Amino acid sequence: MLAAEFDYYLPPELIAQSPVAPRDHSRLMVLDRARRSVSERPFYEITECLKPGDLVVWNNSKVFKARLFGGLVSAAGEPLFEHRRAVEIFLVRELQNPGVWRVLARPGRHVRPGTRVVFADNFYCDVLLKEPDGTILVQFPENSEAVRAKANLYGSVPLPPYVKDERHELEIYQTVYAKPEGSVAAPTAGFHFTAALVETLRRGGIEFAEGTLHIGLGTFLPVKTERVEDHTMHSEWLELSEESAQKVNRAKAEGRRVVAVGTTTVRTLETVARLGAGERPGHLLPYQGESSLFITPGFEFRIVDALITNFHLPKSTLLMLVSAFAGDSEFLLSCYRRAVAEKYRFYSFGDAMFLA
């Protein structure tokens, strides 16, 4: 497969810069995979797409302020630049060694082993190693919880580069059900849900479950290789509780649909389906650990029956996953072209798609 097969033209003015208000008033394109048909409605009418007994599963990971700006100093403590905010450090994830984080740096050429980046009087990291993939390992003196707490105090919201208004508060880049901190990008398919809409769905007989996948490089790094198969998917940490695993197992056993909110939820469920086969294929067991699952056309979905997702970047792993779920990449791209023609709003703060 070539990455170019997942390309499409998007006018820049269709990239949403902020969510609609209220959020459940975004547009929803509904795809019937079997009939290859398309219909449209406002997102709050997802109530008409879901059926009593459906199990809706979402990613409850919470975003923290992963973008840090600091001054670079030498091993001797001398400033290397006059400007105190000359270096941007983007926290990606903590590694197994306490205090060691994988980060991205800009400008990366100046961030060398032996230097220190100072963000505040009591907040800094030391540069340990440059990796071949362009990431950098740094050492903080604090544990991960303390690093995230200080990042939320001194850092900036990790908005995608296509969102130009950086004045957004962190709350605008969270789902209403976000709980454990750990993501450096939001699980944006959940942006369309409001507390009131969730309550309406509960009263209508919809069941809910949650998993956690802390979004990092695996989700948001673009595919830069010509062949899709040559792309390396970075691992991300995920967790599925015993309660959520049992809910999914009951739904599958009873013939009820499992509806994933977002591509990260799909990857969570389908990862666990392959790691813990349990009593039979597709039977989920509780799991905590890593996933580098890369879903492309031809993938066999064992758990997910329907998908709520946003409109994704060209040539992205997210678009490839949705193409795989649609079962026909050309059909999906025709829907993207229709969305462009009808001026849907794209990407993180944009409109939604429901595939069933």
* Residue pLDDT, tens place only, 62-94: 999 999 999 999 876 777 666 566 899 999 999
Token pair of 309, please? 């997702």
* Residue 66 and residue 93 in contact, taking contact as beta carbons nearer than 8 Å: no
Q: How far apart are CA 39 and CA 243, in angstroms?
A: 35
Composition of the chain by helix, strand, coil, percent to 5? 30, 25, 45
Q: What is the chain's mean pLDDT, rounded?
A: 93
Q: How far apart are CA 61 and CA 211, in angstroms?
A: 8
Give the long-range contacts of residues 278-286, CB within 8 A, separation 24 or more: 282/252, 283/249, 283/252, 284/240, 284/245, 284/248, 284/249, 285/245, 286/240, 286/241, 286/242, 286/245
Token pair of 157, please? 């919201």
For the chain, what are the domain ranges? 3-63+169-355, 67-154
Query: What mean pLDDT comes out for the span 290-312?
Result: 96
CATH superfamily of 67-154: QueA-like (2.40.10.240)
Tokens 């905010």 sit on residue: 85
Phi, psi at 250, each rounded to 5°: -65, -45
* Residue pLDDT, tens place only, 166-223: 666 788 899 999 999 999 999 999 999 999 999 999 999 999 999 999 999 888 888 9
Query: For the packed helices 317-326 and 263-275, what is the interaxial angle rounded to 10 degrees?
Result: 70
Tokens 């849900």 sit on residue: 193
pLDDT at 279 over 60: no
* Residue pLDDT, tens place only, 110-151: 899 999 999 998 999 999 999 988 899 999 999 999 999 999
CATH topology of domain 3-63+169-355: QueA-like (3.40.1780)
Number of neighbours of residue 195 by Cβ within 10 angstroms: 9
- Is the pTM here over 0.85, yes or no? yes
